[in-house]
A and B are shown apart, each in its own frame.
Chain A
Amino acid sequence: MKKRIWRIIIGAVVFIAAFIVDLDIEWLEIALFAAGYIVVGGDVVTKAIRNIFKGKMFDENFLMSIATIGAFFIGEYPEGVAVMLFYQIGELFQSYAVDKSRKSIASLMDIRPDYANVKRGDELVKVDPDEVHVGDIIVIKAGEKIPLDARVIEGNSLVDTSALTGESVPREVGAGSEILSGCININGVITAEVTKEFEESTVSKILDLVENASSKKSRSEQFITKFARFYTPAVVTVAVLLAIVPPLVISGASFSDWVYRALSFLVVSCPCALVISIPLSFFGGIGGASRKGVLVKGGNFLEALAQTEIIVFDKTGTLTKGVFNVQEIHPVGEYSKEELLELAAYAESYSNHPISLSLKRAYGKEIDNRRISDVEEISGHGVSATVDGKKVLAGNTKLMEKKNIVYYKGELTGTAVHIAVDNQYAGYIIIADEVKEDSKQAIEKLKAANVKQTVMLTGDNKNVSEKVARELGFDKVYAELLPGDKVERLEELFAQKSVKGKLAFVGDGINDAPVLARADIGIAMGGLGSDAAIEAADIVIMTDEPSKIATAMKVSKNTLKIAYQNIFFAIGIKMAVLILSAIGLTTMWAAIFADVGVTVIAILNAFRALNIKNLE
């Protein structure tokens, strides 16, 4: 780097000297320019010659050498040196900018832990996180990064999860808490048992995802790649034609004039500005989003997000906390409240559905598995099980209707689990879920971001769902859906969007894998620690906040704006200079600006995509 700078400075001094000092002796002036040229561009010419022997024509070095040496031959000495000088300055700038952006990307991804303190006997040994295995005991001191996913055995502390979630409030952990790699332990000393190998740990997954995201290219990136492939050969071909044809065809056309124009073409022939700046913008956008706790699996998804027209939400666990609590117990006939709850808890004991979990939690006692048999889960309806020899049905109204049981049909304020024993109605239990604090804000922000339709899909009952949808300001709600119905409803919505618009589905990653996969953009919430969600979705929101979707959209729009600016700016300037050079209205100086100047400006512009501080 230093050597390059000095060469440029010395070359520039010689060049300026040759330019200012008005020497009458022509050969001395040429010699001075030539000396400047050799200092500045000697390495480019050497590389060009070396590459030709390797069978590689038409690279940047070759084109630059031809253009500048050509300028010498037609007597334009200052141009020859200047083009080379500016080319070198541009290259220097470019590698500085690339270096800088590589560093800022590296700092974005600076969540990789360097070591782990493992307990070996009584000793504490510092080892590479790769060498730690599941079941090993690790100690994390204050200020250290958590190296692997683990469960706390001893110690209390505050943990900074901001690198993974963008959440600035630290999380409290104590014995029994799950801790995730990549977070920083703020104050106490924690002893923990490793639950996942490094390869499988959260930090590795996230890094892998962000790094590989650039292999899924956006449409703008694909366009640029294709454009670059034909641009250089096309420009070089036109340059050759420009140098040969007009002087032969047009009478009185001067050969050196047309060669000069052709040489300007060669200077503009590298598509570098585009090839660097577009992927850089997307990479910056993806990196910036990850800092906000939003993982985007590819440039294509980041691009699609900006074009979202319809956004569909699952309710439970996405807009609501997914923590159900038993609110009311209404037994009918011979049963007491406790008995009804016990029957329901037993019948649902094998299920992991949030409703079942809430019943078990409200029941509060150990479930004795010997008392239950013949458990059958009826998807979208409920369960049927034999408890203490009695056939118990627990589920929604559809289950009751299916089994021809007369049940309570009045207005309900929450989700009802109806229970029947030996085909006799035994009463219902009301369970309600709490809406997340930022759900309403999330929908408002999405509408402000020009999303045309917000839709809620849920398996929950109509009354409850409609009430929640009204509160949050949804345009449409489809309630009481079976898992299969969700895909069907999604197909209907697909028909309503425009050709270019995209449909996004937001779910919690549990039970809605088919819908996540079918949508143009599948967004999973609460990805921290959930492998299933990270696998199934295109975009993963690491926290439980639905309002992050609007944030991701802003990042997406910002990134696209920058990418488009660069495309139009770079292609526009290059085309303008090509046309002006062809008709002889401009000099090689403009051409050199169109090459390196544009590259540098485009890189600097792409830099802005990394800056996500102002995006909420």
Chain B
Amino acid sequence: MKKKFILEGLDCANCAAKIENAINKVDGVKEATVNFLTTKLTIDGEDEKMPAIIRAAEEIIKKIEPDTVMKKA
């Protein structure tokens, strides 16, 4: 299942790369990409683990970029 999110207030490219790396390491994630320019986060993950993945992603973002808000696209 693929889910898309908008990362509001994402304004550091290096952080975007760090977020992408960290989410890719979450259990159940097949592929995660953060597009710094469109501020879009796309997560492709296993269906049943998706709620946990989204929670994990939210925490990762809060840790790396406290001012960035993850919103549903």
Q: Let me know if A270 is at the binding interface, CB within 8 A.
A: yes
Which chain B residues lie closer than 8 Å to A101 at the CB level?
37
Which chain A residues lie closer than 8 Å to B40 at the CB level?
211
Beta-carbon contact of B37 and A105 below 8 Å: yes
In the complex, how many angstroms separate the beta carbon of A228 from the nearest chain B beta carbon?
A: 6
Q: How far is the CA of A33 from the CA of B20 in the complex (A)?
A: 39
With A56-B63, A225-B17, A275-B17 already in contact, the answer to whether A214 and B12 are too (CB < 8 A) is: no
Q: How far is the CA of A272 from the CA of B31 in the complex (A)?
A: 24
Interface string of B30-42 (1 = CB under 8 A from A): 0101011111101
Contact among B14, B35, B39 with A270 in the assembled complex (CB-CB below 8 Å): B14
Q: Let me know if B11 is at the binding interface, CB within 8 A.
A: yes
Beta-carbon contact of A215 and B17 below 8 Å: no
Interface of B is mostly: mixed
Name the residue on A nearest B11 (C-beta): A95
- Interface positions, chain A 165-211, Cβ under 8 Å from B, are 211
Name the residue on A nearest B44 (C-beta): A215
Q: How far is the CA of A283 from the CA of B17 in the complex (A)?
A: 16
Which chain A residues lie closer than 8 Å to B37 at the CB level?
101-102, 105, 214, 279-280, 283
- Interface positions, chain A 268-305, Cβ under 8 Å from B, are 270-272, 275-276, 279-280, 283
Q: Let me know if B52 is at the binding interface, CB within 8 A.
A: no
In the complex, how many angstroms separate the beta carbon of A213 from the nearest chain B beta carbon?
A: 9
- Interface positions, chain B 6-31, Cβ under 8 Å from A, are 11-17, 31
Which chain B residues lie closer than 8 Å to A283 at the CB level?
37
Q: How far is the CA of A275 from the CA of B36 in the complex (A)?
A: 10
The stretch that binds B, out of A47-55, A152-160, A416-424, is A47-55
In the complex, how many angstroms separate the beta carbon of B19 from the nearest chain A beta carbon?
A: 12
Q: How far is the CA of A140 from the CA of B9 in the complex (A)?
A: 36
Beta-carbon contact of A55 and B13 below 8 Å: no
Q: Let me know if A98 is at the binding interface, CB within 8 A.
A: yes
With A51-B66, A55-B63 already in contact, the answer to whether A214 and B17 are too (CB < 8 A) is: no
With A271-B14, A272-B12, A272-B13 already in contact, the answer to whether A211 and B38 are too (CB < 8 A) is: yes
In the complex, how many angstroms separate the beta carbon of A271 from the nearest chain B beta carbon?
A: 6
Which chain B residues lie closer than 8 Å to A102 at the CB level?
37-39
Name the residue on A nearest B33 (C-beta): A215
Beta-carbon contact of B14 and A54 below 8 Å: no
Which chain A residues lie closer than 8 Å to B11 at the CB level?
94-95, 98
With A101-B37, A280-B37 already in contact, the answer to whether A272 and B63 are too (CB < 8 A) is: no
Q: Let me know if B64 is at the binding interface, CB within 8 A.
A: yes
The tally of residues in B whose CB lies under 8 Å from a CB in A reads 19
Which chain B residues lie closer than 8 Å to A225 at the CB level?
17
Name the residue on A nearest B38 (C-beta): A211
Name the residue on A nearest B15 (C-beta): A59
With A102-B37, A105-B37, A279-B37 already in contact, the answer to whether A50 and B66 are too (CB < 8 A) is: yes
Q: How far is the CA of A215 from the CA of B12 in the complex (A)?
A: 18
Name the residue on B nearest A106 (C-beta): B38
Which chain B residues lie closer than 8 Å to A275 at the CB level?
13-14, 16-17
Q: How far is the CA of A280 from the CA of B35 in the complex (A)?
A: 10
Q: How far is the CA of A228 from the CA of B12 in the complex (A)?
A: 13
Q: Let me know if A60 is at the binding interface, CB within 8 A.
A: yes
Q: How far is the CA of A105 from the CA of B36 in the complex (A)?
A: 12
Q: How far is the CA of A42 from the CA of B42 in the complex (A)?
A: 35
Q: How far is the CA of A55 from the CA of B13 in the complex (A)?
A: 20
Beta-carbon contact of B35 and A54 below 8 Å: no
Q: How far is the CA of A98 from the CA of B37 in the complex (A)?
A: 8
Contact among A59, A94, A279 with B36 in the assembled complex (CB-CB below 8 Å): A279
Beta-carbon contact of A54 and B63 below 8 Å: yes
Q: How far is the CA of A106 from the CA of B50 in the complex (A)?
A: 29
Beta-carbon contact of A211 and B35 below 8 Å: yes
Beta-carbon contact of A214 and B35 below 8 Å: yes
In the complex, how many angstroms separate the beta carbon of A616 from the nearest chain B beta carbon?
A: 26
Which chain B residues lie closer than 8 Å to A54 at the CB level?
63, 66
Which chain B residues lie closer than 8 Å to A56 at the CB level?
63-64
Beta-carbon contact of B63 and A60 below 8 Å: no
Q: How far is the CA of A95 from the CA of B10 in the complex (A)?
A: 10
- Interface positions, chain B 31-61, Cβ under 8 Å from A, are 31, 33, 35-40, 42
Q: How far is the CA of A55 from the CA of B39 in the complex (A)?
A: 25
Q: How far is the CA of A95 from the CA of B39 in the complex (A)?
A: 13
Q: How far is the CA of A90 from the CA of B66 in the complex (A)?
A: 21
Beta-carbon contact of B66 and A276 below 8 Å: no
Q: How far is the CA of A279 from the CA of B20 in the complex (A)?
A: 14
Which chain A residues lie closer than 8 Å to B35 at the CB level?
211, 214-215
Which chain B residues lie closer than 8 Å to A271 at the CB level?
14
Name the residue on B nearest A278 (C-beta): B13
Q: How far is the CA of A349 from the CA of B7 in the complex (A)?
A: 55
Among B14, B35, B40, which residue has the most Cβ atoms of chain A within 10 A?
B14
Name the residue on B nearest A283 (C-beta): B37
Q: How far is the CA of A54 from the CA of B59 in the complex (A)?
A: 11
Contact among A214, A215, A272, A280 with B14 in the assembled complex (CB-CB below 8 Å): A272
In the complex, how many angstroms separate the beta carbon of A191 from the nearest chain B beta carbon?
A: 33
In the complex, how many angstroms separate the beta carbon of A288 from the nearest chain B beta carbon?
A: 13
Which chain A residues lie closer than 8 Å to B66 at the CB level?
50-51, 54
Interface string of A57-85 (1 = CB under 8 A from B): 00110000000000000000000000000
In the complex, how many angstroms separate the beta carbon of B21 from the nearest chain A beta carbon?
A: 8
Which chain A residues lie closer than 8 Å to B64 at the CB level?
56
In the complex, how many angstroms separate the beta carbon of B6 from the nearest chain A beta carbon?
A: 12
Name the residue on B nearest A232 (C-beta): B14
* A and B contact pairs by CB, cutoff 8 A, 10 listed: A54-B63, A60-B12, A60-B14, A98-B13, A105-B37, A211-B35, A215-B31, A215-B35, A272-B12, A279-B36
Beyond the given pairs A214-B38, A270-B14, A272-B13, 8 more chain A to chain B contacts, judged by CB atoms under 8 angstroms and listed by A's residue number, are A105-B37, A211-B40, A214-B33, A214-B35, A271-B14, A272-B12, A275-B16, A283-B37
> B interface vs A, CB < 8 Å?
11-17, 31, 33, 35-40, 42, 63-64, 66
List 10 A-B pairs, minimum CB-CB distance, nearest first.
A276-B13, A215-B33, A275-B13, A275-B14, A283-B37, A214-B35, A95-B11, A272-B14, A54-B63, A105-B37
